[in-house]
């Protein structure tokens, strides 16, 4: 039997997609939700997969410090240099800041915190989501 828990974090961000032929080539914003699902086969001494406070203190804090109310831009995006010169808040990503790549980024951060992450789901709107799974 496998135990799982999920925790959802909300954050606001702006982005644009390089080489996009549609409206997403322009700077725009989203109010996103990211749900991390973690799992294990045996619960810890307290009967938990992971304490929700640990998730809040690691992933929640990282999202607040790095992504919330920031412009997410690909490292190749010339707008990054302009925002840096203006002292604006932004976060550089190696890849285009799509919902798929944000989910992958958060998955990697969760692994880095030693969390037993199974999947990360990012909703960039009420009707559009992307999932990254191990």
Q: What is the pLDDT of residues 47-72, one digit of tens each?
A: 999 999 999 999 999 999 999 999 99
> So what's the pLDDT on residue 1?
63
The DSSP bridge partners found for residue 40 are 3
- Domain 3-133 CATH class label: alpha beta
What are the residue boundaries of the structural domains of the chain, listed by start?
Answer: 3-133
pLDDT over 70 (residue 81)? yes
> So what's the pLDDT on residue 134?
83
- Residue 3 pLDDT class (50, 70, 90 cuts): very high
Q: What pTM did the predictor assign?
A: 0.95
The DSSP bridge partners found for residue 38 are 5, 117
- Residue 40 pLDDT class (50, 70, 90 cuts): very high
Tokens of 116: 């037993």
Name residues whose C-beta falls within 8 Å of residue 37's C-beta, 6 or more positions apart in sequence: 4, 5, 6, 117, 118, 119, 120, 121
């Amino acid at each position: 039997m496998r135990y799982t828990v999920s925790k959802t974090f909300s954050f606001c961000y702006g982005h644009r997609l390089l080489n996009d032929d549609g409206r997403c080539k322009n700077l725009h914003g989203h109010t996103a939700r990211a749900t991390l699902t973690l799992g294990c086969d045996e619960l810890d001494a307290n009967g938990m997969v992971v304490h929700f406070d640990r998730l809040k203190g690691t992933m929640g804090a990282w999202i607040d410090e790095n992504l919330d109310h920031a412009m997410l831009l690909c490292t190749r995006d010339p707008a990054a240099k302009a925002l840096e010169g203006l002292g604006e808040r932004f976060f550089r990503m190696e890849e285009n800041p799509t919902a798929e790549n944000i989910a992958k980024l958060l998955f990697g951060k969760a692994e880095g915190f030693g969390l037993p992450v199974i999947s990360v789901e990012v909703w960039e709107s009420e009707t559009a989501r992307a999932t990254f799974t191990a």
